[in-house]
Amino acid sequence: MNSAAVRILVAEDESGQRRQLIDQLAKLWPEAELVAECADGDAALAALESERPDVLFLDIRMPGADGIEVARAASGRAHVVLTTAFEQYAVPAFEAGALDYLLKPVVPERLAATIERLEQRLQSSPPDIGALLSALDERLRPAAEQKLNWITATIGDAVKLMAVDDVLFFRASDKYVRVVTADDEALVRMSLKQLEDRLDETVFWRIHRAVLARVSAIEQFEKDELGHWHARLKNHPERLPVSESARSRLRGM
């Protein structure tokens, strides 16, 4: 450790802040050598392989791979310091100690303390921080994203967002699922099962193997000449097949 300089990598997408951190590091840690200066996560991943840094300073939010992904790749190979503007959710993960973090704007006193800690840590081999990062990742990702509110449908070259609130029914055909609203429709490459799992089951009902329909859009059920049941909709001419099992389930609801 004494002979070779500490090799450091800095990844930060905002160039002003990146330069500032590098300047401060040069001042406070003259023994360290900057081996990579990256503007996004992918560049950081590449430099991790090519430059073999000892310490990584990583912004959490970056284009390409984010700071957490890069840190995961570096786990057990290098020491990691994450930089973030706001630590509300992150603090518990940081307090475990194996990971260090810097709050932006980075002030010299805090950076000096971090460098001191790093110098101690560099005596031992870098810890495995995989589990810690997973916990952190979970905290940073809002749970509300799980519920489906919008469907992204590709129509030729264009992409369109359709609000789930407008959808009357989803109907599977071949590899695709048709998403149908009162005045529009599109195909998505998701299975009905995937959709069903992320939709409100009190709003959309599986009325047939191939159909998920908005309950409030159903006008009535009717039987055709062959004795098959169909659902007629309020705002759409298409008649939807209703399976026997679904019908007996729906009866009396």
Partner 1 sequence: MSHSSAELNKPLPAAVAVGSARWWLSYRRFPVFSRAWVWRRAALFGLIIVLVGAMSSLMHYAEGSDERLALELFAYFVAGFLVMTNAGPLLAAIVRHRHFAPVTERRLVVAAIGLGLVLALLADNWSSTAMMRLTDSEFERTMEGTALVINLLVLFGLYALMGGGLALRAYLGEHRRLATFESEQAMRRLQSDKLAADRQLAMLQAQVEPHFLFNSLATIRSDIRDQPEQAERTLDALCEYLRASIPRLRPDDSGSSSTLGDQLEICRQYLTVMQSRMRVRLEFSIDSDPAVSKLAFPPFILLSLVENAIRHGLEPSSRGGRIDIRARRDDQRLIVTVADSGVGLSGDAGGGVGLSNIRHQLRLLHGDDARLTLSGHARGGVEASIELPAEAASQEPDS
Residues near partner 1 (CB under 8 A): 13-17, 19-21, 39-40, 42, 61, 63-64, 85-86, 88, 103-106, 142, 144-154, 157-161, 163, 165, 188-190, 195, 198
Provide the 3-class DSSP secondary structure of residue 6: strand
Q: How far is the CB of 223 from partner 1 (least distance, A)?
A: 32
Q: How far is the CB of 165 from partner 1 (least distance, A)?
A: 7
CA 141 to chain centre: 7
Return the number of the residue (75 or 83) whose C-beta is nearest partner 1: 83
Return the number of the residue (4 or 143) whose C-beta is nearest partner 1: 143
Return the number of the residue (180 or 195) whose C-beta is nearest partner 1: 195
How far, in Å, CA of 135 to CA of 149, rounded?
26
Q: How far is the CB of 229 from partner 1 (least distance, A)?
A: 29
The DSSP 8-state label assigned to residue 63 in this structure reads S
Counting DSSP H helices and E strands in the chain, the numbers are 8, 15
Q: What are 79's strand-pairing partners?
A: 55
Report DSSP letters for 154-215, one per residue.
EETTEEEEEEGGGEEEEEEETTEEEEEESS-EEEESS-HHHHHHHS-TTTEEEEETTEEEEG
Q: How far is the CB of 46 from partner 1 (least distance, A)?
A: 13
Q: How far is the CB of 138 from partner 1 (least distance, A)?
A: 15
Return the number of the residue (86 or 253) whose C-beta is nearest partner 1: 86
Q: At 39, which amino acid appears?
A: A
Report DSSP letters for 222-235, one per residue.
EE-TTS-EEEEESS
Q: How far is the CB of 156 from partner 1 (least distance, A)?
A: 8
Return the number of the residue (120 or 146) whose C-beta is nearest partner 1: 146
Residues near 33 by Cβ (< 8 Å), separated by ≥ 6?
Answer: 5, 6, 7, 8
Return the number of the residue (171 or 229) whose C-beta is nearest partner 1: 171
Return the number of the residue (86 or 226) whose C-beta is nearest partner 1: 86
Provide the 3-class DSSP secondary structure of residue 1: coil
Q: How far is the CB of 20 from partner 1 (least distance, A)?
A: 3
Q: Cα angle at 27 between 21 and 28, to 5 degrees?
A: 85
CB atoms within 10 A of CB 153: 20
